[in-house]
Chain A
Amino acid sequence: MPLPLSYSLRNLQARPGRSVMTACIIALVVVACALLLGLISSLKQTFVRSGNPMNLVVMRKGSDNDGASQLAVQAFQAIRFFDGIARDAADQPLVSPELVVQPFFRTRGGGRENVLVRGVEPVALAVHEQVRITQGRMFTPSAHEAVVGRAVLGRYAGAELGNELEFGRGRWKVVGILEAGGASFESEVWVDVRELANDAKRPYPYSGIRLRVATPADFEPLQRRIGDDPRYALEALRETDYYAKQAKSANALYVLVVGIAVLAGIGAGFGASNTMYAAVQARTAEIGTLRALGFSRGAILSAFEIEAVALSLVGFLLGAVAALALSRLLEWWLGSLAFGASTFTTNVITLHLSSADLAGACGLALTIGIGGGLGPAWRAARLRPIEALRKA
């Protein structure tokens, strides 16, 4: 016959100071863990959202990002008319030639970062479906105009609509703001590809091509055809795969999360354990009485484990609230966060704690509670009634 839940909960209430302190210990680990998990997931989200499952990224063989690649005009002309490429209403192939350059931009805080400027032709809007101009309009080719991503507007100085934004070797008039549902394009500035090539003095006007395949069955033949072409050393990658590779750089951060979960988690576990051992010590007579009354060892064990779990849940709740508040505070204080996923580019992200992140932190809290409570619960369960009562 198990002990009622209220037994465990009442005991926590009986020593509120100690319970709160122990809960705080767990809460702090939860906050640290949630924050880092949120960071990683926010970073990965930008990449996940950036890949269109029907798009291909064509780059020079061996480049690991489109900023490092170069692609000849002839290559573009040839690929345009390959089979399997989707076409728009006017029967034009959805192939977007692009040039990626990373000039310096000044942040609002006075720092200097490399921002990805993508030289495109108007067809780019059709190929990158999720990108929409939400304010203003798309730039007019040859007019030295630019549209800036929402995140760029937030982080860098002078990117407001109507402003003349200085980057590269000239000034560009901001005529539109683009949004892309949180994708990495929001950290980019889009301009006319020819003007960009001129500005950056690139011998090759393009660095890569993005294109839409007509049907999923066309992926493989197209990839093979592009990759095998002897004239140009190119490779074609599914856009989703391309961004998945970029996302891998965030994986290094998991090392930190594991470190915290293991080291801080064990530490907090010991802290909780101390509290529970003291509780067992103080309640020795009580346990003896319960055992004498007929409660089994299992019942005692469960009761104490439940107490530990309840403590860790309280700790998780405190920690979750604190983590959410902290992420808001960071957003207010730091604005956006910048991360360099690949060399020379900055991804601007906002720290957002998803429910998966909180679930992970909750799992950690429960592990701490269950693990930390195990020793004391075991000791309580093993107390022999006679000895326990004698100690009183």
Chain B
Amino acid sequence: MKYLGLVFANLRRSKLRSAMTGAAIMLAVLLVCLLLTMPAGLDALLDNLASNTRISVHNKAGIVYSMPQSFVRKVRQVDGVAAAAAITWFGGAYEEAGRVTFPNFAVEVEHVGAVYPDYPISAEHLADFKRYRDGALVGRQIMRKYRWKIGDRVTLRSTVWPVNLDVRIVGEIADDHSPYLWMSTEYVDQALKAQGREGLGIANVVWARASDPSRVNAIMRAVDELSRNSEAETACETEKSFFSNMFGSLQSFVTIILIVTALVSLCIVFIAANTASMAVRERAGEIAVLKAIGFGRRVIFATLLAETLLLSALAGGAGVLLAVALTRALRMFSGWSEALGPLAVFIITGPVIVQGIVLSLCVGMLAGVVPAYGAARKSVAETLHEIF
């Protein structure tokens, strides 16, 4: 601790160099944090929004292969099912976006609350959702992306059904990562019938909640049994498995992101190591004098390493803070135009912050250890010889 003054003084030695190295580390850590939001976001979705009691019931052939809406009644009667709600892909494009930019579904309003009791939806919002046929519940990620407020009216042009629907936002799914919009099945059904068509008779997924995790397997078997040999044979899976599979196709992308993150991290290590080795080389004489006076190898090693570590920790910490601030700002700007839309997906969560800090410390260690060790190891006489 008493050496801290010396370490700080050494960092102040070449202010320009310390500043530039610090800035480089800060910017790179910022970038890494932004990059990591994607895998972290997927993990968060898996952790926050997937429960161990929910089961997805869908056509074995694929989600696009639907099931009759009426099937949900059979599911409700299965032993152990506490609640079940049929969900149909609406595929609505928000006018301003021009194409489908978030998942939106028609859901059974009377039952969906019971299937998702863990979702942060206030009782009041849920009640309004049931009360107003044209109501919609929207996940916070989308609310922020388009800067919608409760009470706003939003037009969605379905890309799969021949209807355009005007919905009123009556409530929010208060999770930062929730990207959903739910509207009422009745409302869609009505709109279709008004055109002289058959109503919304199909569901893409029936979500069921088991009364207890231990009943999940039995329920899945029972439901699949119910649908066997029918025209829509089902394959049940847990919600976690469902999300995993869905994210599976994003895996390539995540891998590339992680590779790029690794490259950038390595880059920071090199930048910091470059600075550290230059500093050590330039100060060889001074270090020799310190050793001569009686500072042992361990102290020399520690103070040199501390220098790199301190710079790295401070700069990296600043980078993480900047990432948090920047993503907040980006969320504001992303609402301005479609092209900037993607900017809203950067949400810095706890794990990302921790990863950023750990990265900064590791960078400091890796970058500083070799120059510090090399300088400490050299014998005094050897160094003095080279200098004098």
Chain A interface (Cβ within 8 Å of chain B)? 17-18, 21-22, 24-25, 28-29, 31-32, 35-36, 39, 60, 62-65, 67-68, 101-104, 107, 111-114, 167-169, 199-201, 233, 245, 251-252, 255-256, 259-260, 263-264, 266-271, 273-275, 277-278, 326, 330, 334, 337-340, 342-344, 346
Contacts and interface: CB of A to CB of B under 8 A. Distances in A.
Contacts of B16: 277
A338 B232 CA distance: 28
Interface string B17-31: 100110111011011
B158 A25 contact: no
B31 A260 contact: yes
A353 to B, nearest CB: 13
Nearest to A246: B99
A275 B279 CA distance: 11
Contact of B61 (A60, A169, A252): A169
- Residue among A167, A233, A274, A337 with the most chain B CB within 10 A? A274
Given A28-B263, A267-B31, A339-B253, 15 more contacts: A21-B273, A65-B159, A102-B64, A252-B341, A252-B342, A259-B35, A260-B31, A263-B27, A267-B25, A267-B271, A271-B270, A271-B274, A339-B249, A340-B250, A342-B100
Contacts of B341: 252
Interface residues of B, number: 63
A20 to B, nearest CB: 10
B24 A270 contact: yes
Contacts of A114: 62-64, 249
A274 B17 contact: yes
Interface of B is mostly: helix
A101 B264 contact: no
- Residue among B24, B100, B259 with the most chain A CB within 10 A? B24
Contacts, number: 187
Interface of A is mostly: helix
Contacts of B245: 111-112
A346 B62 CA distance: 14
Given A255-B342, A334-B255, A28 B264 contact: yes
A259 B31 contact: yes
B20 A31 contact: no
B113 interface: no
Contacts of A35: 256, 259-260, 263
Nearest to B278: A278
Interface in B239-278: 245, 248-253, 255-257, 259-260, 263-264, 266-268, 270-271, 273-275, 277-278
Contacts of A32: 260, 263-264, 267
Contacts of B270: 21, 24-25, 28, 271
B21 A112 contact: no
Contacts of B17: 274, 277-278
